[in-house]
């Protein structure tokens, strides 16, 4: 019997969540999306096409993150140069405001950015001092 509207019991919601969690690995992560499943399917259904479509939709959702990642990769020298200063700034904030506000703020930023900004912990390193320019080789 079909229910009207969105009346879903807690048991049904839990089962749906379990199916969705299983799908992430069994349906998406392990799918080669090459269409070979169609050869074994008695009605020749190519689920690889569906998986490709779902993956394409997911990539559109992450377009901003992908664009940001490409900017970092294409300008890695600048990014690499700035990291020690950023780590030193975080260390300074830790010394000024203490661990709890820094931890709460960084965890909030971590959740808001989908784990792109790391959550602070007490083992976070300080920024390293720049390396000295090596001396020219002695002949």
Residue-wise pLDDT for 19-34, tens only, equals: 999 988 888 888 888 9
Q: Are residues 22 and 54 in the same domain?
A: yes
Q: What is the pLDDT of residue 1?
A: 45
Q: Are residues 83 and 55 in the same domain?
A: no
What range defines the domain where residue 97 resides? 75-112
CA distances (Å), origin 126, targets 65, 96, 117: 26, 14, 16
Q: Are residues 52 and 82 in the same domain?
A: no
Q: Are residues 20 and 56 in the same domain?
A: yes
Q: Are residues 79 and 56 in the same domain?
A: no
Picking from 42, 20, 19, 23, the residue whose alpha carbon sits closest to that of residue 31 is: 23
Q: Are residues 19 and 52 in the same domain?
A: yes
Distance CA 92, CA 90 (A): 5
List, for residues 48-82, the tens digit of each pLDDT value: 899 999 888 888 877 877 888 889 899 999 988 99
């Amino acid at each position: 019997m079909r229910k009207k509207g969105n009346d879903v019991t807690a048991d049904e919601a839990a089962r749906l969540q379990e199916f969705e969690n299983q799908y992430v690995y069994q349906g998406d992560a392990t799918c080669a999306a090459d269409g070979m499943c169609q050869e074994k399917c008695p009605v020749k259904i190519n689920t690889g096409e569906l998986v490709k479509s779902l993956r394409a939709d997911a990539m559109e959702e992450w377009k901003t993150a992908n664009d940001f990642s490409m900017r970092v990769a294409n300008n890695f020298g600048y990014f690499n140069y700035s990291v020690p200063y950023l780590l030193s700034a975080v260390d300074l904030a830790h010394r000024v405001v203490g661990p709890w506000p820094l931890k709460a703020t960084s965890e909030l930023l971590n959740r808001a950015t989908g784990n792109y900004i790391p959550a602070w912990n007490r083992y976070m390193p300080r920024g390293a001092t720049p390396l000295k320019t090596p001396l020219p080789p002695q002949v």
